[in-house]
Amino acid sequence: MCRLCDPARPKAPCPSRRDFLKASAIGGAAAATGATLGGSATAQQAAEGSIPAGIGAPGRQTLIRGGTIISVDDSVGNFASGDVLIEGGRIVEIAASIDAPDAAVIDAAGKIVMPGFIDTHHHQFETALRSQLAHGILVNDGRSVNETNYYDTILQTFSMVYRPEDVYINELFAGIAQLDAGVTTVMDVSQIHHSPEHSDAAIEGLQDAGRRSVFGYFEGHGDRSQYPQDARRIREQYFASDDQLTTMVMGGEIYLPGYETSWQIGRELGLPIALHVVGTFGMADTFDQLAQAGEFGDDNIFIHMTGMSDMSWQAAADAGAHVSLAVPIEMHMRHGTPPIQKAIDLGLSTSLSSDVECTMTADPFTQMRGLITLQRMFANEAALSGAEDYPALMQCPDAIRHATIEGARGLKLDDVTGSLTPGKAADIVLLDAEALNVTPLNNAPGAVVTLMERSNVDTVLVAGQVKKWRGQMVGFDIARLRSELEASRDHIFEAAGVERDLFAF
C-alpha cells in the first residue's frame, strides 16, 4: 500500500510510488506536470520541453558552459566565466573553457554556478504545520507563559497524531520545496518515530524526493516506538551501503532517559551522533558531564550549542565535533544567543540549518543573512564601543562556506559534495544573476549572500540529474502533492483537537 492510501478510503487498486510521483500527461507530455511550486502546469511543461536531450543520461557528458563559477574549493578557484564538465553524475573538470563537442550543454550565461546548499538540521515532518508557531518560543520556561511553545504544541500535541502517510507526504514535500530553494543536501531530524512504519515512511519520503539526504533517526513516542533499538534494522534494511544518495545519522538527545543507549548503538553501527544542545532546555549539566568523561568525538553533531560552558566548548573543539547553527530560529525562539563567534574562535567546523518551518522559512539565503548580519552586528558594536580588540567582520565567501562545504564536513560527506571539485558529485545550482533583484552583477559572493532569494534559483542538479530547470520543478505532480499535504494538515489539526485560526497570535 502506498503511504498516501488511507485505509478508511474505498479499496481500489493502489498506484505505485513512482506512479504517484509522476504526474498525468498534459497535452501528450510523458514527463511530470501539474502546478509547480512557483508556476503553472503550462510553465512546467514548457521548461521540461526545453531541457537539452542527454543531460544526465548514462554514458553522456553534460557541459555547464559560460557561468560565473564559485567553486568553494581553493585548489580549483573561481571563474568570472567558466565551464563545468559532468560525467556519470560526477564533476570531471572545471576550467575557463572546456572542449567537449559531444556533451549535452547547459547555457549558464548570466548565471552563478556553485555547489548546492546544505541544511544540517531540518525537521521535515512538520511541513504541514508551516507558520503555525510563528510567534512561539522553544519551551515554557516559567518566565513567560507561552501556551504555544514548541515542545508542548508541536512535539507533545501535533506530532502525537501523525500517521505514517502524514510522515511520508510531509517529508516528500519538504524535500521538493528545498530543492526549489537550491538545497541539495539535508539532515532530516525526524522526531516522529512512533512505530517502525513511521520510520519507514520518513525514509521513503526522503528517498522519493530525489535529493542527497541524511536520515536522522531520533526519538518517537507511544507503545509502538522502537527507538533506539530499531536503528539496527533500519541500518541493515536501508543503509547497508554508505555509497548512496541517502545515508543515516543517529539521534542521541541527552534530555531523554537512557540516551547512553542511543550513543552506544550509534557508535556500534558506525553512525554520526547528532543532538540538540540548548541551555534553556536544561542540558548544560549533562553536557558538562559528557565533556568531562571524554565522550565527545569527531562523530558528534551538536545542534545550537547555546548556553554551554567554556569547558564543554573546548572539549567539543578538541574532539573535532561539528556545530550546526540555526541562527534565525535561535534568535526568534529563545534558544539563546547564537554562538557564532565562539565557534569561529575555537575553530570548530560550523554549518547552517533551517530547523523548524512551523516558525521560520527553510531557505538558505535567510540562513546566510542571519549568520553574517548577527556576527557583524556584534563585531561592529564592539568597534563602536571603543574596543581595541574585536572580531574580524565575516565576509560573504565565509557565509557561503558555512552553507556548503562546512555542512558537508559535518555530515561526513565532504568527499562527496559541498564544493565544485573534480571527482565529487554534481550537486550544483545555477543562480540567476540577471534577475531584477541582482542585475548588474558586481560581486558574485556578495550577490548570493546579500541580494538573492529562492526566486533566483534557476536550475538544480543532484548527482547530475535535473531537479529544477529554468525556474520550474520537474518530475513531480505538485498540484496533487499540495492537496495531499493539505489533507494531512487537516487530519493533524482535527486529531490533535486544535482549531485552525489564520489570524491567531
> Which DSSP string do the residues of 404-437 spell out, in sequence order?
THHHHHHTT-TTTSSS--TTSB--EEEEESSSTT
Question: What confidence score (pLDDT) does residue 30 get?
Answer: 30
39: pLDDT confidence band, cut at 50, 70 and 90?
A: low
In angstroms, the CA 115 to CA 71 distance is 7
- Sequence-distant (≥ 6) Cβ neighbours of residue 407 within 8 angstroms: 117, 118, 119, 120, 185, 324, 351, 352, 418
> Which single residue is written with the C-alpha cell 545542534?
303
Tell whether 23 is covered by a domain.
Answer: no
Question: What confidence score (pLDDT) does residue 42 get?
Answer: 78
Q: How are beta strands 111-115 and 428-432 bridged, if at all?
A: antiparallel
Helix (H) or strand (E) holding 104: strand 104-107
Structural domain harbouring 459: 51-115+420-469
**Whether the predicted pLDDT of 37 surpasses 70:** no
Tell whether 71 is covered by a domain.
Answer: yes
User: How far is CA 365 from each of CA 353, 378, 399, rounded to the nearest angstrom?
Assistant: 11, 20, 10
Look at 44 and 389; give whichever has higher pLDDT.
389
Question: What confidence score (pLDDT) does residue 45 get?
Answer: 76
Residues 80-86, mean pLDDT to the nearest whole number: 98
* CATH number assigned to the domain comprising residue 256: 3.20.20.140
Q: Is the same domain home to 379 and 331?
A: yes
Least confident of 167-171, 198-202, 405-409, 473-477: 473-477
In angstroms, the CA 81 to CA 441 distance is 13
147: pLDDT confidence band, cut at 50, 70 and 90?
A: low
The full DSSP string for 279-290 is GGGT-HHHHHHH
Number of independent structural domains in the chain: 2
What residue type is assigned to position 468 of the chain? K
460 forms beta bridges with 429, 468
**Whether the predicted pLDDT of 28 surpasses 90:** no
- Sequence-distant (≥ 6) Cβ neighbours of residue 466 within 8 angstroms: 51, 55, 56, 459, 460, 474
Tell whether 425 is covered by a domain.
Answer: yes
Residues 459-483, mean pLDDT to the nearest whole number: 95
What residue type is assigned to position 295 of the chain? E
Q: Is the same domain home to 276 and 339?
A: yes
Q: Is the same domain home to 196 and 306?
A: yes
20: pLDDT confidence band, cut at 50, 70 and 90?
A: very low
**Whether the predicted pLDDT of 146 surpasses 90:** no
Q: Which three cell numbers stand for residue 372?
A: 553574517
Q: In a 3-state reduction of DSSP, which class is residue 377? A: helix
Least confident of 42-56, 461-475, 484-498: 42-56
Tell whether 229 is covered by a domain.
Answer: yes
Residues 197-206, mean pLDDT to the nearest whole number: 98
Q: Is the same domain home to 269 and 342?
A: yes
Q: Which three cell numbers stand for residue 383?
A: 568597534
Buried b (16+ CB within 10 A) or exposed e, 376-415: beebeeeeeeeeeebbeebebbbbbbbbbbbbbbbbbbbe
User: How far is CA 370 from each of CA 137, 282, 366, 394, rounded to the nearest angstrom?
Assistant: 18, 25, 6, 12
Q: Is the same domain home to 326 and 432?
A: no
Residues 135-139, mean pLDDT to the nearest whole number: 92
Q: Is the same domain home to 193 and 96?
A: no
Residues 410-422, mean pLDDT to the nearest whole number: 98
Tell whether 284 is covered by a domain.
Answer: yes
Give the residue from 372, 387, 410 where a domain finishes: 410
Return the ∠ at Cα 400 (arms to 396 and 402), rounded to 5°. 115
Tell whether 415 is covered by a domain.
Answer: no
280: pLDDT confidence band, cut at 50, 70 and 90?
A: confident
Q: Write out the E strands in 181-229.
A: 183-190, 212-217
Q: Is the same domain home to 266 and 368?
A: yes
**Whether the predicted pLDDT of 354 surpasses 70:** yes
Q: Is the same domain home to 79 and 193?
A: no
Residues 457-476, mean pLDDT to the nearest whole number: 96
In angstroms, the CA 418 to CA 351 distance is 11
Tell whether 429 is covered by a domain.
Answer: yes
- Sequence-distant (≥ 6) Cβ neighbours of residue 289 within 8 angstroms: none
49: pLDDT confidence band, cut at 50, 70 and 90?
A: confident
Rg (CA), the chain: 22
In angstroms, the CA 19 to CA 21 distance is 6
Name the maximum alpha-carbon separation found in the chain. 74
**Whether the predicted pLDDT of 148 surpasses 90:** no
Q: Is the same domain home to 102 and 237?
A: no
Q: Is the same domain home to 204 and 247?
A: yes
Q: Is the same domain home to 220 and 368?
A: yes
Q: Is the same domain home to 82 and 161?
A: no
Question: What confidence score (pLDDT) does residue 183 get?
Answer: 98
Instruction: Give pTM, 2 decimals.
Output: 0.92
Judge contact between 334 and 137, C-beta under 8 A.
Answer: yes
* CATH number assigned to the domain comprising residue 68: 2.30.40.10
Q: How are beta strands 322-325 and 349-352 bridged, if at all?
A: parallel
Tell whether 20 is covered by a domain.
Answer: no
Question: What confidence score (pLDDT) does residue 118 get?
Answer: 98
Question: What confidence score (pLDDT) does residue 142 get?
Answer: 72
* Omega within 30 of 0 (cis) for the link into 397: no
In angstroms, the CA 131 to CA 133 distance is 5
